[in-house]
Chains A and B, each alone.
Chain A
Amino acid sequence: MAKTTFRKSSVGKKVLMALTGFFLMFFLLQHLTINMLSVISPDMFNDVSHFMGTNPIVQIALQPVLMFAVIFHFIMGIVLDLQNRKARPVGYANNNAGANTSWMSRNMIISGLVILAFLVLHFIDFWIPEMNVKYIQGDMSGLLEPGVADSGYRYFEELQHKFVSPIRVGAYVIAFVLLALHLQHGFASAFQSVGARTNNNKTALQKFGNIFAFAVPLGFIAIALFHHFTYSH
């Protein structure tokens, strides 16, 4: 019999979706931790940002893995969604989907696409300028004023500047609310996909997932609002 490979089988695709999801959730935690430093201590935030931005392991090994995971996750998410739509060419005249499923579980593609739109904005905001300064202009110093050693690191300043615009902060908040909805289903779902959910642990997984899905996005939102309201020049 012609066998599909793991990567092409429906189960395999789901497992890969879950593994990239796990990786992204782990990344979010790490990202949130560093962002939190910007509230606690600008100096610490600057030091860690400089380390992350110039450390070769982070830049050459981890950053491409992250990029790959993000791109893989959203392309696979879109492909799966398109395939799934095709699996029912004639729809129901009356479909009471709310009777057996949550809104979050049915609309992973919508929450996902909003997150994707945000990621594009985030790239334009932070990543492209970083790449420009570091690798095109070749300034790896991380200093506020290039060449002026005692001008201090630029990262905290730049972060605060970004959160001046209420429109950007608004977009940020919306994206993180959608991320919360994505994870409210996604967290436990990823465990199911890799075969780790059982009737014994499912309640605990969902509870923990709810906490994660609520607390992590809230953390990001709180930090954005903190900088928006405390920044003055």
Chain B
Amino acid sequence: MNLTLKIWRQKNASDKGKMVTYPVTDISEHMSFLEMLDVLNEQLIEKGEEPVAFDHDCREGICGMCSLYINGEAHGPDRKVTTCQLHMRMFNDGETITIEPFRAKAFPVVKDLTIDRSSFDRIQHAGGYISVNTSGNTQDANALPIPKKNADLAMDAATCIGCGACVASCKNSSAMLFVSAKVSQYALLPQGQVEATDRVLNMVNQMDLEGFGNCTNTGACEVECPKGISLENIARMNREYLKATIKG
């Protein structure tokens, strides 16, 4: 396949940046989107040009680093995949593909297509944990009976990889899906109860401080999330938040 790529180039955080057009040749339809970008970068280096900076790590859909806005959608046109799992067979020979970084005030661009998602880390630090002593005589997790339904829902919520596609797709740059997944995975389990009140208040507070927008329930996040995190988690977080506010 031969393609035309329109890619966001930005030297550093303070550079204004712009879309630049590159042709790329000899792409196999079996390649992943990131492999296609590797080929582009090789071709750029051969020509003596600066390669395009983009994030990636595991290349198997679990780390959440490979965050690209492709043809107007987070992680591209396919559903429930990250950019590293997106195959070039989703595109046609001769197609023009736009590639942009995830956009949000809380996700500033570092260089080209790489962004700073440390706002997510700070939200996690605000309450996305349980306090357990690691003294050596920790209680066996299986000793606590947990309804199968709740275990499954908690597991589903815990599959969130923190990629930020929910924020990128949301017209409000809201982080509700991410935060609600992190709140839900604990809210559904007995281990999460002790700190439940502080957790939801602190995490929502940190989310607001980071400059994410307000959710208007458009549902873009759920459609674009590579892990299929459900909007139900947002409703659950809203309940948890109401409960916590009443408890104080």
| Residues from chain A with Cβ under 8 Å of B202 in the complex | 1, 3
Contact status B234-A87, CB under 8 Å: no
Restricting to A92-107, which residues have a CB under 8 Å from any CB of B? 92-97, 99-102, 105-106
Interface size class of B (residues with CB under 8 A): 35 or more
Q: How many residues of A contact B (CB 8 A)?
A: 46
Interface pair A87/B232, CB less than 8 Å apart? no
Instruction: Indicate whether B89 reaches chain A with its CB closer than 8 angstroms.
Output: no
How many residue pairs bridge A and B at CB < 8 Å? 144
B55 within 8 A of A: no
Q: Answer whether residue B224 sits at the interface, using C-beta atoms and an 8 A cutoff.
A: yes
Cα distance, A202 to B222, chains bound together (Å): 14
Q: Is A108 an interface residue, CB under 8 A from the partner? A: yes
Task: Check B205 for interface membership: any CB of A closer than 8 A.
Answer: yes
Q: Which residues of chain B are within 8 angstroms of A95 by Cβ–Cβ distance? A: 72
Interface-facing stretch out of B43-51, B59-67, B138-146, B166-174: B166-174
Q: With A87-B173, A91-B103, A100-B224 as known contacts, state yes or no: A189 contacts B72, CB within 8 Å.
A: no
Q: Are B72 and A87 in contact (CB under 8 A)?
A: no
Q: Are B218 and A86 interface neighbours, CB within 8 A?
A: no
Q: Which residues of A have CB within 8 Å of B213? A: 10, 83-84, 86-88
Q: Report chain A residues within 8 Å CB of B37.
A: none
Bitwise, A99-141 to B at CB < 8 A (1) or not (0) is 1111001101000000000000000000000000000000000
Residues from chain B with a CB closer than 8 A to the CB of A162 are: none
Residues of B within 8 A of A192 (CB): 217, 231, 234-235, 238
Q: Which of B173, B205, B224, B236 makes the CB contact (< 8 A) with A195?
A: B236
Also in contact, A4 and B205, with CB within 8 A (given A11-B237, A96-B72, A199-B230): yes
Give every chain B residue within 8 A of A196 (Cβ-Cβ): 235
Which interface residue of B207, B214, B215, B242 has the most chain A CB atoms within 10 A?
A: B214
Contact A199 B73 (CB under 8 A): no
Q: Contact partner of A1 among B72, B126, B231, B237, CB < 8 A?
A: B126
Which residues from chain A sit less than 8 Å from chain B, CB to CB?
1-4, 6, 9-15, 80, 83-84, 86-97, 99-102, 105-106, 108, 185, 188-189, 192-199, 202
Taking Cβ atoms with an 8 Å cutoff, the residues of B that contact A are: 6, 8, 17, 19, 69, 71-73, 77, 98, 100, 103-106, 109, 126, 169, 171-174, 176, 201-202, 204-205, 207-208, 211-220, 223-224, 230-232, 234-239, 241-242, 245
Q: Which 10 A-B pairs have the closest CB atoms?
A: A96-B72, A87-B213, A195-B239, A100-B223, A84-B172, A195-B238, A87-B173, A84-B213, A105-B218, A94-B98
